[in-house]
Each structure stands twice: as C-alpha cells, then as structure tokens.
Structure 1
Amino acid sequence: MQKKHAALGLVLSAIARAAAAEDAAQANNPLANMTAFNLQNYYIGDLSGFEDSANQFWVRYAQPFSVGKTDWIFRGSLPINSFPITPAGGQKTGTGDLNMFAAYLIDVGNPDVSFGIGPQITAPTASKKELGSEKWSAGLVNVLFDASSHKFQYGYLLTWEASFAGSSNRSSVNAAAFQPFAFYQLGGGTYLRSTPIWSYNFQNDAYSIPIGLGIGQVVRRGHTVFNFFLEPQVSVASRGQGQPEWQVFFGMNMQFTK
C-alpha cells in the first residue's frame, strides 16, 4: 500500500510540474486562449531632447472570441501618460490614446505555435492634447508566439497604423513598431526575458531601437496565473526628439484560466 501511495505521489508531482511548466510557457503569450488583464509601466529616465523624465502606465485587457468557426483575440490598451511638454521642463499627466486590435488566429498545424493577424484602430482619447495624436488611426497587427519548448519561448508583435481623420492642426500618423520577444525558463516559474519595442515613424523619419534584459516570476493562485516582471532597456540607436534613451519596463500580467 505504501508503494502505491508513493507511486501516486510521484505521478501527481509530475503532473503538477508539467502544469507549472505549461503556465510558465504560456504566461507571456499575447494570443493565449484565455482572458487576460495587464498592468504595465515604462519609467523613461532619459528622453532625447528633454531634460525631464517621463512615464507611461498601460492598462491592457485581452479576450478570446469566435466569429462563426473562426477564433480571434481582442486586445484593448489605454495608456496613462506623464510627459514633459517642453525641452526645458514641465509635465502633463493624463490618459493617452486608446488602441484596440482583433487578431484572427490561424491554425499553423502546431498547437504550441500561435499566429494571428488582423486590424487595429487607435482613438484620440487623450485627456490633454500634448498626450495624444488627436488623430483617428487604423492599420494592421501580426503576432507570432512559439511555445514548442517549455524552456525557451519566442515570437514577435508587428504593428503599423496611419491616420485617416482628426485634427487638421496635428501631424499625420504613419508609424510601425516591431517587438521581438524571448523568454528563457530558469525553473520554478522564474524566467529571463527580453521584449524591446523597435519603432519607426515614417512621417518624420524618427526611430528608436532599444534592447532589454530582465527577469520575471510566474505564480498560479487558483484559476489565475500571475506574471510579475522587471526589464531594464537601453537604446542602441535612435533619431529624433522624444525617443527613450533608457527606460525600465515592469508590471504584472494576469491570465484567468477556465
């Protein structure tokens, strides 16, 4: 009887380890088939052309949904910005522009690989004109996440948008961003991460190319997977005013399992 209990304990322990590894592998998947709520922050210590620092706090919500026999992911993101308004100083704080996208999930023949593409739209919801574009913009998103390995996951988020309506006194929007991401699992829910966003503004030929290296911890509590992380990032190339020279990205992501 003791041997049976010991064998059962080993089986349950193996199942628990496998579940924990799956949680860790999927914790950073933007296309994971579960509802998610994220609180993320960029503290920008050095902004090119400005003496003051800046801060951008993001509230993000993601929800899977279906249209007929097709599967999609909706994500909405609203920033709370605190930016200098002149090179010499002075800050404005308030909500920024609301971004939303819907990615159609394409079956690539591997259940561990998520691939999505779809439309996005940005609404001029900024509470102060200095904190947003005052433009309606639309474009496309493309996302890939490969969790074939429980040790190393990688992928990217590619976005592009251009303005089509809004204030005639403001510059048009025509911008793209590429976010490569990589996650290396150390065990016990702890992992190394790199998720910089490389951006390019076609309107004024400005760009920013940071690199980052940070650490995260994934913890499950009941039906919720918590993902805490801290990732310093530094620019290796940039052009134009208002580009982050260095910043610290940190936050908490929550996934709600069924």
Structure 2
Amino acid sequence: MSRVLHSLVLALTLGLTTTAAHAQDSGNNAAAQANNPLANTTAFNIQNYYIDELTGTNEDANQLILRYAKPMTLGDANWVMRASLPFNSYPVGVNGAHEAGMGDFDIFAAYLIDTGNPAISFGVGPQVVAPTASEDAVGSEQWQAGLANVYFNATSAQFQYGYLLIYRGGVGDTNGRQRVNLVALQPFGFLQLGEGWYTGTAPLWNYDLTSDNYGVPVGLRLGKVFPTPKVVYNTFIEPQFSIADRGPGQPEFQLFMALNMQF
C-alpha cells in the first residue's frame, strides 16, 4: 500500500506543475508567468522526482513524468487540458528489489473563470486517472475521479504565488487494493531574481482520508527561464525535505527536476 500511496501522491503533480509564458511576451513577463499552471499556451514538460528514501522501507524510488498541455475553447468557455504519463520505479519485496514501468495515465481539464484581471488565473475542473500501469506495483489498479482547483496570482512582476487543491477517489473495482481517497494541497510561490533566474518552492502536501497517513515536504527551488523566438524553456531543480509525515511510502528527501517547454 505504501507504493500505491506514493504513486498517487506524485501523480497529483502531473496535472499542475509548472509551465512557461508566451515567447512573444517581454522577458520580465515571461519570467513572471513561467510557473503559471494555467498558462494559455501549448506545452510539453519533462519532470523527474528522485526519492532518496521512503518511510517504512529506507529504499529509494523514482518517477519520470511526461506531460502535454493544450488550451481549448468550447463555445464561450476557455479550458486548459493536461495529459500526463509517469514512468515509475518503486521498491518491492526485500533485498532492495525495484519494479519499474509505465504508471497510471492522468488527464485534467480546467475551466478558466474570468477574474477580470489577466494577471490572475483561476481554474476548476475534473480529473480522471486510468489504470494503465504496466506492472501492479507501479499503479493503483483502479480508475480514479476527482476535482481540482488552481489559483495563480502574477499581479507582481517580482513575486508570484498561488495554490493547487485537489481531491481524487477510486471508482469501480479496486482489484483487491485499498480504494484511493486522497486530498492534496500544493502551495507555491516564486521570486524573480532577474535575467530569467528565479527561486521559490512548490511542495505537495498530501493526506489519505482512509488511512490517516500524510506527508508535508518543504523545498527551495532554483530555476531559469530561457525565452527564444519559437520556444520558451523553463528548467529548475528543487530539493524537498519532509518536515512531518505519517505512514509508509512518504518521501523523506526528494529531488524535483524539470525541463518545461512552451510553443
């Protein structure tokens, strides 16, 4: 169960991790918008979590995430769709053995609510997870459905902040596994340092409503935004440490790295 919980927790970041701004925007605006999860642009992201130690096992783990994001218009409504696919490596059994393979496919659609201020983004919408894992140990073996809410405030060119709040639960047959029943909060804030450099953090705090297990990491990021005529690149590294946790499968320390591209 610890591997399952950890997989779900990491998968939450699939739908709402960072993106970059439009290439035609000014350098300052591109940097300020570089971590807006609701940015109105097509994106492809490559993200990786290396977990040095999991609670309950003292073993390491890894999750590589590929994500595609696309803004859409349905009638008069604006949406952002994000589809994510993880590739997981988790400890199983004894003697440090690991199981690796494709994880569960995740898709999220955010309805963008007009806030009256283009620098403030607010989205809410459904999220669905399909049990596509190639191995039992790297997935949940159940369909999941949930709801997510995202807020991003970029009214300041110097400091941007917001949050992700999400709930997801298992639906239908669980194939003998514990039914997913998870809440997560991801607060984030980013301080622009100039010339595309920025610092900040985006930890993901999780709480399992069934087992009462939780994890509360904190971290510090160093990132750089590279605008080009056709693509805006955003790359960063963020070490994260647990300051409070309960139950097995929670990261004690993890290294979050990414290369995000928008076109």
Match of 2:184 among 177, 187, 202: 177
- Report the Cα distance in structure 2 between the residues aligned to 1:184 and 1:149, rounded to whole angstroms: 10
CA-CA distance at 1:215 after TM superposition: 0.3
CA-CA distance at 1:158 after TM superposition: 1.2
The residue aligned with 2:54 is 47
The residue aligned with 1:11 is none
Percent identical among aligned pairs is 52
- Report the Cα distance in structure 2 between the residues aligned to 1:237 and 1:74, rounded to whole angstroms: 33
- Report the Cα distance in structure 1 between the residues aligned to 2:173 and 2:233, rounded to whole angstroms: 38
The residue aligned with 2:81 is 74
- Report the Cα distance in structure 2 between the residues aligned to 1:72 and 1:134, rounded to whole angstroms: 29
Whether 1:200 and 2:212 are equivalent positions in the alignment is: no
The residue aligned with 1:233 is 240
Q: In proportion to residue count, which structure has more strand?
A: 1
CA-CA distance at 1:206 after TM superposition: 0.9
1:41 is matched by which residue type in structure 2? Answer: N
Q: Runs of at least 4 residues of structure 1 off by over 4 A?
A: none
The residue aligned with 2:33 is 26
1:181 and 1:87, CA in 2 relative to 1: closer, same or farther beyond 3 A? farther
* Gap runs ≥5 in structure 2: 1-22
The residue aligned with 1:57 is 64
Q: Which structure exhibits the higher relative contact order, with contacts defined as CA atoms closer than 8 Å and separated by 6 or more residues? A: 2
2:37 is matched by which residue type in structure 1? Answer: P
1:206 is matched by which residue type in structure 2? Answer: N
Whether 1:166 and 2:173 are equivalent positions in the alignment is: yes
- Report the Cα distance in structure 1 between the residues aligned to 2:128 and 2:50, rounded to whole angstroms: 25
CA-CA distance at 1:103 after TM superposition: 0.5
Which one has a bigger Cα radius of gyration?
1
- Report the Cα distance in structure 2 between the residues aligned to 1:161 and 1:228, rounded to whole angstroms: 29
- Report the Cα distance in structure 2 between the residues aligned to 1:223 and 1:193, rounded to whole angstroms: 26
1:141 is matched by which residue type in structure 2? Answer: A
CA-CA distance at 1:52 after TM superposition: 1.9
Match of 1:213 among 204, 208, 220: 220
Whether the 8 Å CA contact 1:47–1:243 is kept in 2: the answer is yes
2:241 is matched by which residue type in structure 1? Answer: V
- Report the Cα distance in structure 2 between the residues aligned to 1:181 and 1:76, rounded to whole angstroms: 21
